Amino acid sequence: MGWANITFEIQDQVAYIGFGKNEEKSVTVLNKETLEELNAVIDELTNNENHRDLSGVIFFSHKKDCFLVGVDINLISNLKSAEEASTGAALGQEIYNKIEDLNINTLALVDGVCMGGGLELALSCRYILASDSNKTVFALPEVQLGLIPAFGGTYRLPLKISITDSLDMILTGKQVRASKALKIGLINEIYAKARLMNMGKNFIKNPSHYLRNKKKNFKSSISSIVQDNFLVRKIIFQKAREKVIKKTVGLFDAPIKILEVIEEGYGKGRASYLNLEAKAFGELWSSNQSKNLRDLFFSIEKTKKFPGIGNMNFEITNPTKIKSSAVLGAGTMGGGIAYLLADSNLNPILKDINIEALELGLKKSSQILYSNFKKKRMTKDEWERKQRSITPVLKYLGFNRSEIVVEAIVENIEIKKAVFRELEEIVPSNTILASNTSSLSISEMCSDLKNPERFVGFHFFNPVHKMPLVEIIIHDKISNLVLEKVYNLALAFKKFPIIVKDSPGFLVNRLLGPYITEMTYLLEEGVGIHDIDRACLDFGLPMGPCRLLDEVGIDVGFKVSDIFYKAFGERFRKSALADKILALNVLGCKSGKGLYVYDDDSASESDSDRDDTSSSNERKSSNKRDDDSSSTVENIINPDIKAILPSKKITLEPRTIQMRLILPMINEAARVLEEQVVSDAATVDFGMIMGTGFPPYRGGPLKHADSEGLDKILNAMAEFTKNVSNIRYQPATLLQKLAAEGKNFYN
């Protein structure tokens, strides 16, 4: 029998089952057809009398650097109901049970990515061997889609490794490299990539001869004895639950459900346990959280190919890759961009007007590269070579050979225009000129250029190496070729690019503008700093607006507010308190004092000249908060700020604070759509999730609005219009129109 998606052959009494036969796909997935073929092959091995003398079965992949990435997300999303989802999980479990029940040795040879259903398949085998490739990783990432591993992963992993290591993998979806996998007992051996198949052939016939590290087996035995103690196990699950609730504020359903299944099912027979797992999969599949997270996955996949822009009918030209580069303006931001270019082997030139700035930029790039080396993401030779590839200059030496120049200088339109006029006389006519501005008009910036078609906005977020989003800002005269080249360059950086039309603040910063502005009005009314920030953390945001303003820089944040006020009018007017805060001349993290007080180690990496109102959702807060001690909390607020806050305090419900801050963001998002700054609601939501850390399981501000109901959103805004401000909460025309027609942002 022939197979379309897998290979099946028998050599020297060993059956070989290979995945990834279809070379058109970039990764190996378990789609419906592959699962059906796998099931048929296992039945063939089980029922065919001709296979009784087999000594073993080896599972492997034909695809380079990929064993199996898991079940096709399209297959999961196309399910029709919770019942169908549970049934589908049970069918997958049945196939893997058949593998586990084979009465011969079974071996998974893992070279590259082994995730989700791929790892669950490997766990159903008796042995797992892995290559020493740095691309070999193991993970159960279903929790990141709001789901539970449902092909037996939560059942088999705790039988293979300790409960604590299992929970760490399953509840976070974290990736484990081969060396760590060997250490925790997930795999049996590691071999050189080139020798993996040959070693597998020998191993399958006599596993005991090749197994080593007896101490590891002894350690596993001790761990099993300890975790089988009811009281110890109870403590482990309690600590895990506390950790999950602290990290997710109890808002994320999947990890709690996973914990319930593992705890309830622990010690039960396979059939009973897997029934719990399949049922939980159906329940989570049907939740809005999982749907939102799956939609986010598809949005990520969508960004991986240049889309053109709206109805401008761009032709996909498949341009040549950029091979040389330069950065104009060092400092923290320029150094971060230089790192991206160097890491992509583009040998960047880094220019500034003084040695001090160049040293800062080189220090920044060096820190990031060294960190990657320490985390084993690159070798020492790669680290040193990439750092040496950055050439610091005080003049325009070498710029005539650069295919792209990224500007990251002071955020001043006249200075930028002068610099680009000067630069245009130095670089070749086909060199792309890109500005990293976060708020200034791209159209105005290139208005004096002879060749404006090669000019583009290329807006990174700070810190550059961590923040995944890039806004590519277009204007009426931009060349399709330039746009496509820059888009592909962002992908080469492993960033997620979105295309945004020229407008003050573009997308992300514009939507953060009213969020920050409304925070100052809440403070002015007497709401506490920590009440505001805690309400936002409870909503699921990575940090509250008070802390965010400190991260951005108070001077920068309010400067952007002035730009918005000039562009959009009264709804962006700063509060009187904002002017008082500015007068104190406290800058935030970068100066050690803002709304909060910071120690020297917590100084922000923000550039004082940057106008970025977005900040890293990965940066750790230095506020050593004790939520059970109000005196401790009060001590970290800047006394100078406390002195200008209203003496009369008011208490608002967290829900009210959340609505006061999130509704203006939703309203501004509707205006962005009205103005066609971006193409659709999905782009708005994707930008806010990737650029600000808006809770992914809420789907973004517009999908959150749809979930709440646009009528409810408008009713809440009407109340705030009467009781708070009839300007800042005046609903956008599109929002009113959609609600009146019974529609939402996504239909």
Mind listing the pLDDT tens digit for each residue in 527-581?
999 999 999 999 999 999 999 999 889 998 998 899 999 999 999 999 999 999 9
Give pLDDT, residue 318. Answer: 61
Distance CA 515, CA 538 (A): 16
Give pLDDT, residue 503. Answer: 95
Under a CB-based contact definition with an 8 Å cutoff, are residues 745 and 681 in contact?
Answer: yes
Q: Sorting pLDDT into bands at 50, 70 and 90, what band is 635?
A: low
Q: Position of tokens 């003050």?
A: 504
pLDDT reading at 495 higher than 90: yes
Average pLDDT value for the chain: 90
Task: Determine the average pLDDT of the residues in 260-266.
Answer: 93
Q: Position of tokens 């500007």?
A: 407
Q: Position of tokens 């040959």?
A: 198
Which active-site residues does the annotation give?
459
Give pLDDT, residue 208. Answer: 86
Q: Fold identical between 6-286 and 508-740? A: no
Give pLDDT, residue 45. Answer: 92
Under a CB-based contact definition with an 8 Å cutoff, are residues 454 and 433 in contact?
Answer: yes
CATH number of 508-740: 1.10.1040.50, 3.40.50.1110, 3.40.50.261, 1.10.10.60?
A: 1.10.1040.50
Give pLDDT, residue 226. Answer: 54
Domain 6-286 superfamily per CATH: 2-enoyl-CoA Hydratase; Chain A, domain 1 (3.90.226.10)
Give pLDDT, residue 213. Answer: 53
Task: Determine the average pLDDT of the residues in 153-170.
Answer: 95
Give pLDDT, residue 616. Answer: 39
Distance CA 590, CA 550 (A): 8
Tens of pLDDT, residues 363-397: 999 999 999 998 888 889 999 999 999 999 999 99
The domain ranges of the chain are: 6-286, 325-499, 508-740
Give pLDDT, residue 620. Answer: 36
DSSP at 724: T
Give pLDDT, residue 307. Answer: 86
Give pLDDT, residue 218. Answer: 46
Give pLDDT, residue 690. Answer: 96
Task: Phi first, then psi: give them for residue 191, nearest 5 degrees.
Answer: -130, 160
**What does pTM read for this prediction?**
0.89
pLDDT reading at 21 higher than 90: no
499 to 442, 503, 508, 618: CA distances (angstroms): 13, 12, 12, 24
More confident residue, 601 or 274: 274
- Max mean pLDDT range (49-53, 265-269, 598-602, 660-664): 660-664
Query: Long-range contact list for 208-217, CB < 8 A, 24+ apart?
Result: 213/182, 216/183, 216/185, 217/185
pLDDT reading at 737 higher than 60: yes
Tens of pLDDT, residues 323-350: 999 999 998 899 999 999 999 999 999 9
Give pLDDT, residue 267. Answer: 86
Give pLDDT, residue 249. Answer: 81
Task: Determine the average pLDDT of the residues in 409-421.
Answer: 94
Residues 6 or more apart in contact with residue 325 via CB below 8 angstroms = 341, 346, 347, 348, 349, 402, 403, 404, 405, 406
pLDDT reading at 619 higher than 70: no
Task: Determine the average pLDDT of the residues in 668-677.
Answer: 97
Residue 400, Cβ neighbours under 10 Å: how many? 11
Tens of pLDDT, residues 290-327: 999 999 999 999 999 998 765 444 455 567 789 999 99
Tens of pLDDT, residues 703-718: 999 999 999 999 999 9
Is domain 325-499 classified as CATH 3.40.309.10?
no
Tens of pLDDT, residues 428-441: 999 999 999 988 99
